[in-house]
A = this chain, B = another copy of it.
């Protein structure tokens, strides 16, 4: 590595912020230079462990960036702060990697859009699953024609356990909060989605019931060329984090299985070939993906060719989420123009 490491400022030191901090520390071509969190003890803890100057003020961090102390900003703060922080970073000429979603309100996203588009400052979105080596491999193999024309995509995505009711309340609903990853995955394979149809129910979670959200959802996306995407979601899963994908094409099928937690299988008179449950949640399951997401962002910051998902990807996923929400509420298929 003969290049100087890219100096990054991290805003937000919750669990996802800490993942980014660790990825930065582990990357040979990146360095953590500033860390901001209104809960300043969090910022200090991260800075002590992974390097950088701690502050309680995101504004101070961006100002430091504007004055040449940073090469780019990672935004891992709560969703309502994203739009303002992206705007400030872009105005300061600092490339941004922002966690999903950009915002819960598409109007705010659209208001920000002209600035992002005209600025020429790269804004990447944290759709980390695109960097999972297995999902990426399937997408590449599909793109290479290994299974012919892609006709159906099935994404099964179930979290281990329902979030607290307080989280549900401010989450923007299952489609904007959870399915949004699956919407981006759908677009990763099939960008030309034209219609969204969703069904949501309250099958088990009192928190969902309390706040008018769904805990169970199935979304169907249709593309212009006749491919259909099916996304199956649940807010809980007794067998552990359930993340599967099936790409069905004209000449074959590619599937991504759940990540095993062990190579051991047990067989008795009662059952054979039993394996341990799928235990890990996203931080563990997608550890490799987070590291590669950062690597691609570093390339983007350096002006190299990069596959980082963009602001437009973030906007498209939110449009799909909004359409799903409306479809589930009103019982209609919703046309979208991405």
Q: Which A residues between 258 and 301 are near B, CB-CB below 8 angstroms? A: 258-260, 262-278
**Inter-subunit contact B250/A256 (CB<8 Å):** no
Query: Given A134-B263, A252-B267, is A222 in contact with B239 using a C-beta cutoff of 8 Å?
Result: no
Q: Cα distance A156–B277 when bound, in Å?
A: 24
Given A262-B133, A263-B134, A265-B254 in contact, is the A152-B232 Cβ separation under 8 Å? yes
> Is A18 interfacial (CB-CB < 8 Å)?
no
Contact present for A267 and B239 (CB under 8 Å)? yes
In the assembled complex, the Cα of A9 lies from the Cα of B255 at a distance in Å of 46
Q: Give the CA-CA distance A154 to B216 in the complex, in Å.
A: 13
A203 contacts which chain B residues (CB < 8 A)?
Answer: 149, 151, 225-228
A214-247 Cβ-contact flags toward B at 8 Å (1 or 0):
0011101010011110101010111110000000
Interface residues of A (CB under 8 A from B): 133-134, 137-138, 141, 146-149, 151-152, 154, 156, 158, 195, 197, 199, 201-204, 216-218, 220, 222, 225-228, 230, 232, 234, 236-240, 248-260, 262-278, 331-333
A332 cross-chain contacts in B, Cβ below 8 A: 331-333
Copies of the chain in the assembly: 4
Contact A228:B218 (CB < 8 A) given known A263-B256, A271-B271, A332-B332: yes
Query: Which residue from chain B places its CB closest to the CB of A262 in the assembled complex?
Result: B134
Q: Which residues of B contact A256 (CB under 8 A)?
A: 263-264
* Given contacts A204-B151, A331-B195, A331-B333, A266 and B272 within 8 Å (CB-CB): no
In the bound complex, CA of A236 to CA of B151 (Å): 10
By the criterion CB–CB under 8 Å, are A201 and B228 in contact?
Answer: yes
Contacting pair A271 B275 (CB below 8 A): yes
Q: Least Cβ distance of A212 to chain B in Å?
A: 14
